[in-house]
């Protein structure tokens, strides 16, 4: 029996990924080279890496077209590399085999996927090797020695399970012949990838499962100007990371922010930055404005609802927002009604606002701690730091909008908040340009453009299916950057 489409949807895990085999010459716990330099958004983008599986073709298309616009505007030569198997034929077979009515609305969206574009200014490479969808969480690129590109490999990029023979079934067992083949195929794919991007495998550190409480991944480890590393607290300690950074320019320069309240828990969900020479410290901090996002969300008109393309209207059903089985559109109709008659809808609106206040409070605390800690570590950054706030709609609780954070805390010590709509803060900074998750409604688009567009050129990326799996543009991509100036 074939798997359902739903079972093929990739969800982000908020747990530590499995340990990987150590094939590099160094173990993670041995630390990084002393001259390690992690590029920041102030460094020039060289190559954009994106996943390209069956359900994110639209995002890959937008990434390529956006880089084409950037290259033409700036005279740059940024390239794009995409990775992933095309499951489209598999989904077509699934539907023909009676995959279930729940798959049909999604297929309306998928049918609109186009072939990846060919452009004049972008050198594109498309690998057909299956790869993890969350490219940001796989690698943290750094330079050492004579500008040698290396990386921290947070988790296995080419999961062996994707490279197993068709006969492979059942639980993982390293003694099985099929699994040995899978591991060999996966290792070969990784070696090919390293060669393609010029990655020095000898100095690439692979993640060891230091303890079950840590979740250091690319989206939860962000280099900032001034030799500062920002991490999210998640479920564990930063002590192992401090050991890895010991002796480098980043020793004792970690800012640990509270992200325990987030469902995925990565710091790139709530804090980002864009380079800006006119800003007080050379860059502008970008954070969610949850209260503004909630206000705009509740003011959505019926006309705006009607304008949402039909192929987007299925999104949200798997998340059960605000009630199980509701699509985003059905949820909007309940939450945005000016005079809801259903008591459950009235309760949903009240709870939504309460959850917004909770999330906004957490964002404010996070921002205040970042500013205070950053200015302590970088004393040349004095005075008021420049902050851009973007409207972002969050849901909290076990059942997001309808389930409160108190409900979640009663069952777990985490409150499980995440972006209800595509999160504009989870963007990709590309010099003077920024790749931002496309917003559903005009009011949100206008506000994001108003707040962010005065400092950077915005390029919109379709991340609607990424968002339904708890990620957005930054989570789904990675950028290899060329260091500007001396690193030592």
Checking if the pLDDT of 244 tops 50, the result is yes
For tokens 């790869």, what's the residue?
131
pLDDT at 40: 97
Q: When comparing pLDDT for 167 and 149, which is higher?
A: 149
Question: Each residue of 350-369: pLDDT tens digit?
Answer: 777 778 888 899 999 999 99
pLDDT at 320: 36
User: In terms of DSSP bridges, do strands 457-461 and 205-206 run parallel, antiparallel, or are they unpaired?
Assistant: unpaired
pLDDT at 15: 29
pLDDT at 438: 93
Q: Which residues of 267-287 are buried (b: 16+ CB within 10 A; e: fewer)?
A: bbbbbbbbbbeebebbbbbbb
Q: What's the mean pLDDT in 179-199?
A: 85
Q: What's the mean pLDDT in 83-105?
A: 57
pLDDT at 177: 78
Q: What's the mean pLDDT in 247-273?
A: 91
Query: Which residues does 316 contact at the CB level (< 8 Å), separation at least 6?
Result: 326, 327, 328, 329, 330, 331, 468
Q: When comparing pLDDT for 426 and 184, which is higher?
A: 426
As a whole number of angstroms, the distance between CA 471 and CA 133 comes to: 10
pLDDT at 224: 97
Checking if the pLDDT of 424 tops 70, the result is yes
pLDDT at 73: 97
Range with lowest mean pLDDT among 3-17, 90-104, 318-332, 470-484: 3-17
Q: When comparing pLDDT for 251 and 325, which is higher?
A: 251
Average per-residue pLDDT in the chain?
A: 77
pLDDT at 340: 54
Q: When comparing pLDDT for 329 and 294, which is higher?
A: 294
Q: Could you give the angle at which helices 290-298 and 442-452 cross, rounded to 10 degrees?
A: 150
For tokens 């089985």, what's the residue?
325
Question: Each residue of 154-169: pLDDT tens digit?
Answer: 877 777 777 777 665 5
Q: What's the mean pLDDT in 76-104?
A: 66
Among 112-126, 197-211, 215-229, 264-278, the range with the most confident prediction by mean pLDDT is 264-278
Query: Which residues does 403 contact at the CB level (< 8 Å), separation at least 6?
Result: 396, 397
Sequence ranges of the domains in the chain = 19-482
pLDDT at 1: 30
pTM for this prediction: 0.85
Checking if the pLDDT of 479 tops 90, the result is yes
As a whole number of angstroms, the distance between CA 484 and CA 42 comes to: 8
pLDDT at 207: 59
Q: Which CATH architecture has domain 19-482?
A: 5-stranded Propeller (3.75)
pLDDT at 243: 80
Q: Helix or strand or coil: residue 374?
A: helix
Strands of the sheet containing 124-127, edge to edge, are 124-127, 79-83, 44-51, 477-482
As a whole number of angstroms, the distance between CA 323 and CA 395 comes to: 12
φ and ψ at 400, to 5 degrees? 60, -105
Q: What's the mean pLDDT in 380-391?
A: 96
pLDDT at 356: 83
């Amino acid at each position: 029996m074939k798997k359902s489409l739903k079972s093929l949807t990739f969800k982000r895990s908020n747990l530590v990924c499995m340990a990987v085999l150590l094939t590099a010459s160094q173990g993670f716990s041995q630390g990084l080279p002393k001259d390690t330099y992690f590029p920041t958004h102030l460094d020039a983008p060289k190559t954009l890496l994106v996943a390209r599986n069956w359900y994110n073709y639209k995002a890959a298309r937008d990434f390529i077209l956006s880089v084409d616009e950037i290259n033409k505007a700036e005279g740059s030569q940024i390239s794009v590399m995409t990775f992933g198997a095309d499951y489209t034929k598999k989904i077509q077979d699934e539907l023909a085999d009676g995959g279930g009515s729940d798959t049909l609305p999604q297929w309306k969206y998928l049918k609109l996927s186009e072939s990846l574009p060919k452009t004049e200014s972008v050198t594109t490479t498309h690998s057909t090797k299956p790869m993890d969808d969350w490219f940001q969480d796989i690698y943290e690129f750094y330079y050492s020695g004579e500008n040698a590109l290396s990386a921290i490999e947070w988790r296995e990029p080419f999961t062996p399970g994707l490279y197993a023979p068709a006969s492979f079934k059942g639980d993982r067992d390293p003694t099985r012949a099929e699994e040995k083949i899978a591991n060999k195929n996966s290792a070969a794919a990784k070696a090919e990838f390293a060669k393609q991007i010029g990655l020095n495998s000898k100095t690439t550190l692979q993640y060891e499962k230091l303890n079950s409480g840590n979740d250091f991944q690319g989206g939860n480890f962000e280099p900032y100007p001034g030799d500062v590393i920002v991490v999210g607290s998640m479920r564990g300690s930063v002590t192992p990371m401090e050991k890895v950074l010991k002796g480098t320019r980043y020793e004792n320069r970690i800012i640990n922010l509270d992200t325990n309240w987030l469902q995925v828990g990565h710091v790139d969900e709530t804090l980002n930055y864009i380079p800006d020479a006119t800003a007080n410290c050379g860059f502008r901090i970008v954070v969610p404005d949850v209260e503004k996002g909630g206000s705009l969300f509740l003011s959505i008109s019926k006309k705006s609802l009607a304008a949402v393309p039909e192929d987007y209207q299925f999104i949200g059903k798997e998340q059960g927002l605000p009630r199980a089985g509701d699509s985003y559109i059905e949820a909007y109709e309940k939450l945005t009604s000016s005079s809801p008659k259903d008591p459950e809808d009235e309760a949903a609106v009240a709870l939504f606002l309460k959850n917004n206040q909770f999330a906004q409070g957490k964002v404010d605390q996070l921002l205040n701690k970042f500013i205070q800690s950053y200015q302590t570590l970088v004393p040349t950054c004095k005075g008021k730091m420049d902050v851009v706030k973007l409207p972002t709609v969050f849901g909290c609780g076990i059942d997001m909008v309808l389930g409160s954070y108190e409900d979640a805390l009663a069952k777990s010590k985490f409150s499980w908040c995440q972006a209800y709509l595509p999160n504009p803060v989870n963007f990709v900074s590309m010099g003077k340009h920024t790749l931002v998750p496309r917003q559903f409604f005009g009011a949100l688009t206008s506000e994001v453009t108003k707040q962010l567009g005065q400092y950077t050129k915005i390029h919109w990326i379709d991340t609607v299916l990424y968002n339904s799996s708890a990620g957005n543009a930054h989570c789904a991509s990675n950028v290899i950057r060329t260091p500007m100036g001396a690193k030592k």
